[in-house]
Copies of this chain bind each other. A is one copy, B any other.
């Protein structure tokens, strides 16, 4: 018999991990809903044509495609046509754009939706990178109002507050400013090269980025002006004022600076913590057109949340001029970070709160009835399935981190008593069976 295994880059989640993951998803979901975002779901598979060509050549290569079935596969092989007709979702953004276009007549705009579902990428597996992982996306589509940016920044602040993760820094910039800078240095035609390389600044440093830009055809004077503009010092307010002066007359830059100021002003009013202006933040993705957001933590080397404003997400599916703004939380990265920082609540250690020892058929039947009462009060409990040795039953409670064990033998049964053991303190008390609940809450 071959050893059983799962596909490369995928994971099984055992109970403790599954409870912790569910805690993260639930927290994120609750915050999304507090801000009036509604859930949607899309299928795991999309028609292959919906996804191909949307993520560049690399994305197409990393996409998991689904084999045609039956006669369709046969004729595809005979006629040398493509073997696949469907593909597994590569992210939630393109399916969301497809969803908005397909259901536009059923939706009310501005449409505020969230979506928490897995995506699949045949990436080379490595630490913290998986072939199946969850994205938690939240977007407002169909409005240009900056209130939406402020809502999303508040959501970020509240999610990490509720998760108990401090030290989060929310980096904010605006692609219109970067576009204005490109204009200022006469490099509008190389805007993609500019943003893609700026994005690497954190990782490879200023010098290397300069070299890369040179390779991409930038002149030395352009590069040095660029770095001068990006390395202004002072408070956010001061830097924005200085930048406004240097980029005066460049309309798009002025608009970007105004937007940034307004978002920062309203966010301050909303007490959003950890917000930082980062003029070097670029976010490589081409579809961003306004605010861009990235959330980092000093104890982690990748961003744990990010997003921004876009103007043409749905155009590729035939719906033009729909502006939107959205962010995506990286649940797997947040999980790793929370585990490192030891932030998961202790209640997640066990599903069961009370184990009833099984002393035999009649005692077990008695305990089953008590268990029903506890459950009616919302207390998770179970009666050990078999009248096994006491040592085995207590070991079960121990291994599963069950906090309370209740023993009711035949004597206790007759006296309507229960021996209640607190498994953390080791303390044991005898109580009336009607009083178990008050002793464990």
Contacts and interface: CB of A to CB of B under 8 A. Distances in A.
Interface of A: 1-2, 4-7, 10-15, 18-19, 21-22, 33-47, 49-50, 61, 64-67, 69-70, 83-86, 88, 98-99, 101-103, 106-108, 110, 112-113, 118, 120, 122, 132, 140, 143-145, 147-148, 150-151, 154, 158, 266, 269-271, 317-318, 351-352, 355, 358, 364-365, 368-369, 372, 375, 378-383, 385-386, 396, 399-400
B5 A368 contact: no
A53 to B, nearest CB: 13
A70 B372 CA distance: 56
Copies of this protein chain in the complex: 2
13 contacts: A4-B50, A5-B47, A5-B102, A12-B102, A14-B106, A15-B39, A19-B39, A34-B375, A35-B375, A44-B118, A61-B70, A64-B69, A266-B365
B372 A270 contact: yes
Nearest to A77: B83
Given A6-B98, A15-B39, A44-B132, 20 more contacts: A1-B317, A1-B318, A6-B47, A7-B43, A33-B351, A33-B380, A34-B380, A35-B380, A44-B88, A45-B120, A64-B67, A64-B69, A64-B86, A65-B67, A69-B122, A140-B385, A145-B386, A147-B386, A158-B375, A270-B368
A11 B95 CA distance: 12
A344 to B, nearest CB: 15
A361 to B, nearest CB: 9
B382 A35 contact: yes
The 3 closest A-B pairs by CB, nearest first: A36-B382, A15-B38, A10-B43
Contacts of A45: 7, 10, 64, 120, 132
Contact of A40 (B15, B47, B83, B368): B15
B317 A4 contact: yes
